Chain A
Amino acid sequence: MTQLLLFNVTNGLIIGAFYALMALGLSLILNLSNVINFAHGGFLVIGGYLAYTITPYVGFWGALLIAPVLTAVIGLAVEGVLIRPLYGRDPLYSLLMTFGLAFIIEDGTRFIWGAQGKPVTIPPFLARPLSHELFFITGYRIFMVVTVTIAVALIFALLRYTRLGIRIRAATLDLEMVAAMGVNVRILRSLNFAAGIYLAGLAGALAAGQLGLEPTMGTGLLMPSFIAIIIGGVGSLTGTLIGGLLIGVASGVTAVFAPAASEAVMYVLMAFILLARPRGLLGEEGMMT
């Protein structure tokens, strides 16, 4: 039983890392632009399908590099045309807009690539498990965790050490003041949105290798990401990261005892944390109110 539990904790951390990647993109956009991006799962799907489409021309590794960038470019266009006009309004407007956009992306994907799932082949050396006993740790899953770790480290470094990152952080705290100091907030928001969508595109390209492709795959991954943000605390990227890992582990451990409840446990955990600490684990009091 102990071994089973340890296996599931490790497995939960692997899944949690993936949730965290999705959630970080969501969190970036939410913190600066106050947009609850319900279409984030849709951008994940776009990233996956773009990777699938360009793989025959640029190979697996090329697709992994290019597809997230292409997704971010699409995100940039969407932000400019659909999201930007709503910045001055109640967040409910952008929420409804992205909610509708999620359906449009799902149906658009189905229209372009078909309703039938698409198989994605990964390099053979990544497809093997680590060992007979640790069968659930495959080369590809390790690769995913490493990629997520690098992406998260880069995002944190960008926010901490670059001029752009410092401005994003400052604008998250006080947008008006940053604008008053002469920073072009419009460009800042666009770049920040593109960075968030880049993470969604990267998650999609990674998920394609793990899960295959299906127009609805984003929906199933979106809710855990929202929960990760709420648990970690709105406004805190570190909190989001912890939230993602936490729900992954909780889900994995619950699967040992009550498999059918392994999804519900995320919501239960969220409810408990909201009751005990409404701002989330590392959230700042008063955010999003």
Chain B
Amino acid sequence: MATPYSSRRFDRRSVLKGAAGLGALGVASPFVIAARADTPIRIGMIDPLTGVYAAVAQNEVIGAKLAVDQINAAGGVLGRPLELLVEDSANDVGTGVQKARKLIDRDQVSFLIGDVNSGVAQAIAQVSNEKKILHIVSGGHTDSITGPDCKWNVYRVCNTTTMEANSVCSLLFKQYGKKWHFITPDYAFGHTLQKAAAVDLAKLGGTVTGNELTPLGTTDFSAYLIKAQAASPDVIVVLPQGSDMVNCLKQIVQFGLNQQIHVAGLQQELESLEAMPPEARIGIWMFEWYWKQPGIPGVDKFVADIRKVNNGKVPTARNWFGYASVHTLAGVANQQKTIDSVALAKALGNFELPPEIKLQPNKCYYRPGDHQLMTSAFVGEAQSGGAGDPEDLFRVDHVIAGDETAPPEDATGCKIQWPA
């Protein structure tokens, strides 16, 4: 019969079990701790990797991947590695929304980045807001994302359409004339960009001779150009992007319209200029970031790093958007020592990008009132061929700070509702 003492005694089996257990703990513990440290923090990235914006979208992904590699090499975020999960929105709102839900629900991403297409970006923002996930819109420009439709969890890296218009309109007016005819892509981005430019033009005392709305994916612009020429404007303002812009400018030059009327636009990108024949690289534009910035800290290294991962090609603004988006998330998470979306969204207000990330001369920070990054506009003229480098296709004349091109926070229409 067992005495009360006997029940407390360690028998041989218990000792063996205990020893085995301790041994197992000794072996297993490092794995448990290591597993916790190695569990990656996932960032979901949604961009139109196929379709008319494929080239710019893929460049955003290349920039984001470079940032992830750099951050992981430097110890990750809160001691954990970053993992980038990339999905294709195919330029389609439904697909974008479906991919956002998949990334959040199934892949358990902590943060979201995307999309190039403004309409898709807005739709994804609805999902990220519903799921309370911090979301950075890397390349969708339409005003309302950081305007009337702004959300506590959504920040934006690229310029707004109003910032783009404000950066270049007065120069266009001064140098090219006061009667403008717009060729506008018929969706959210184009509409707000044209509206912003028309407002600026009206303030300057100019007139709009017409606005041709062209469907996304238009290949032949001749009918619109015939109409534009008939209206006798001083300037044809080309607003389509990607392959649409390439086709439009190419046809303008083939028709010799640039000999009769000035041709210019607001947003221009290196991807588009490279896809054009040299003679079509004309006019005044704004770049959102440009790779040739002598004397600006970190730019040369960024150019060299991107060249290494992108077949020797120089970085474009899209590379920088992806790069800055990931570094923003990692930087603020490391600073706040959390990955909680609400805490990080609050901390991002007034968060300033360090020199090695901002890669531009002016101060670059997120405004707390509308969650818009105050990033510079690089205004200048397209050039047919680079003097020193074949990819130097733009001459930057002015670098204007975001604070000078953005309307005041209270004029954007943004009223942020924080979760209870």
Q: Which of A110, A132, A212 contacts B247 (CB 8 A)?
A: A212
Cα–Cα distance between A115 and B186 once the two chains are bound (Å): 23
Number of interface residues of A (CB under 8 A): 46
Chain B 263-290, CB-CB to A under 8 Å as 1, else 0, gives: 0000000011011111110000000000
How distant is A242 from chain B, measured CB to nearest CB, in Å? 20
Closest chain A residue to B225, Cβ basis: A136
Q: Is the interface of A mostly helix, strand, loop or mixed?
A: helix
Cα–Cα distance between A71 and B28 once the two chains are bound (Å): 61
Say whether A4 contacts B226, CB under 8 Å. yes
Q: Does A15 contact B (CB under 8 A)?
A: yes
Say whether B217 contacts A11, CB under 8 Å. no
Closest chain B residue to A127, Cβ basis: B254
Say whether A136 contacts B277, CB under 8 Å. no
Say whether B277 contacts A252, CB under 8 Å. no
Closest chain A residue to B215, Cβ basis: A263
Q: Does A221 contact B (CB under 8 A)?
A: yes
Cα–Cα distance between A20 and B55 once the two chains are bound (Å): 30
Say whether A135 contacts B219, CB under 8 Å. no
Say whether B214 contacts A259, CB under 8 Å. yes
The stretch from A30-38, A116-124, A149-157, A270-278 touching chain B is A116-124
Say whether B220 contacts A15, CB under 8 Å. yes
Docked complex: B19-65 residues within 8 A CB-CB of A: 49-52, 54-55, 57-58
Docked complex: A31-89 residues within 8 A CB-CB of B: none
Q: Is the interface of B mostly helix, strand, loop or mixed?
A: helix
Chain A 134-148, CB-CB to B under 8 Å as 1, else 0, gives: 011010100000000
Which residues of B sit under 8 angstroms from A140, Cβ to Cβ? 254
Which residues of B sit under 8 angstroms from A11, Cβ to Cβ? 222-223, 226
Q: Which of B220, B227, B275 contacts A117 (CB 8 A)?
A: B275
Q: Does B224 contact A (CB under 8 A)?
A: yes
How distant is B70 from chain A, measured CB to nearest CB, in Å? 24
Chain B 207-238, CB-CB to A under 8 Å as 1, else 0, gives: 00000111101111011111101100000000
Which residues of B sit under 8 angstroms from A8, Cβ to Cβ? 223, 226
Cα–Cα distance between A254 and B277 once the two chains are bound (Å): 30
Say whether A116 contacts B222, CB under 8 Å. no
Q: Does B205 contact A (CB under 8 A)?
A: no
Cα–Cα distance between A145 and B275 once the two chains are bound (Å): 25
Say whether A259 contacts B256, CB under 8 Å. no
Say whether B223 contacts A216, CB under 8 Å. no
Q: Which of A107, A119, A210, A219 contacts B275 (CB 8 A)?
A: A119
Say whether A217 contacts B219, CB under 8 Å. yes
Say whether B243 contacts A212, CB under 8 Å. yes
Which residues of A sit under 8 angstroms from B280, Cβ to Cβ? 119
Which residues of B sit under 8 angstroms from A118, Cβ to Cβ? 275
Q: Tally of A-B residue pairs with Cβ under 8 A?
A: 121
Which residues of B sit under 8 angstroms from A15, Cβ to Cβ? 220, 222
Which residues of B sit under 8 angstroms from A135, Cβ to Cβ? 229, 255-257, 260
Which residues of A sit under 8 angstroms from B223, Cβ to Cβ? 8, 11-12, 251-252, 255-256, 259, 262
Given the interface pairs A129-B256, A219-B217, the reply to whether A115 lies near B222 with Cβ below 8 Å is no
Given the interface pairs A106-B50, A138-B254, A211-B247, the reply to whether A221 lies near B222 with Cβ below 8 Å is no
Docked complex: A247-271 residues within 8 A CB-CB of B: 251-252, 255-256, 259-260, 262-263
Say whether B274 contacts A116, CB under 8 Å. yes
How distant is B57 from chain A, measured CB to nearest CB, in Å? 8
Q: Does A215 contact B (CB under 8 A)?
A: yes
Say whether A129 contacts B275, CB under 8 Å. no
Say whether A211 contacts B254, CB under 8 Å. no
Which residues of A sit under 8 angstroms from B225, Cβ to Cβ? 136
Cα–Cα distance between A80 and B214 once the two chains are bound (Å): 40
Q: Does B367 contact A (CB under 8 A)?
A: no
Q: Does B135 contact A (CB under 8 A)?
A: no
Which residues of B sit under 8 angstroms from A226, Cβ to Cβ? none
Say whether B212 contacts A117, CB under 8 Å. no
Say whether A110 contacts B215, CB under 8 Å. no
Q: Which of B186, B213, B217, B256 contacts A128 (CB 8 A)?
A: B256
Which residues of A sit under 8 angstroms from B243, Cβ to Cβ? 117, 212, 214, 216-217
Cα–Cα distance between A135 and B223 once the two chains are bound (Å): 12
Q: Which of A12, A116, A260 contacts B55 (CB 8 A)?
A: A116
Cα–Cα distance between A118 and B277 once the two chains are bound (Å): 9
Q: Does B306 contact A (CB under 8 A)?
A: no
Q: Does B239 contact A (CB under 8 A)?
A: no
Cα–Cα distance between A263 and B280 once the two chains are bound (Å): 26
Which residues of A sit under 8 angstroms from B217, Cβ to Cβ? 216, 219-220
Taking Cβ atoms with an 8 Å cutoff, the residues of A that contact B are 3-4, 7-8, 11-12, 14-15, 106-107, 110, 114-121, 127-129, 132, 135-136, 138, 140, 207, 210-212, 214-217, 219-221, 251-252, 255-256, 259-260, 262-263
Starting from the known contacts A119-B277, A136-B255, 18 additional A-B residue pairs (CB-CB under 8 Å) come to A7-B226, A117-B272, A119-B246, A119-B250, A119-B274, A119-B278, A129-B255, A138-B254, A210-B251, A211-B247, A212-B246, A216-B50, A220-B218, A252-B223, A259-B214, A259-B223, A259-B224, A259-B227
Question: Top 5 closest A-B pairs, CB basis?
Answer: A117-B275, A255-B223, A115-B54, A116-B55, A260-B213
List 8 contacting pairs A-B, 8 Å CB cutoff, sorted by A. Answer: A4-B226, A7-B230, A115-B54, A119-B250, A210-B251, A211-B220, A216-B50, A216-B54
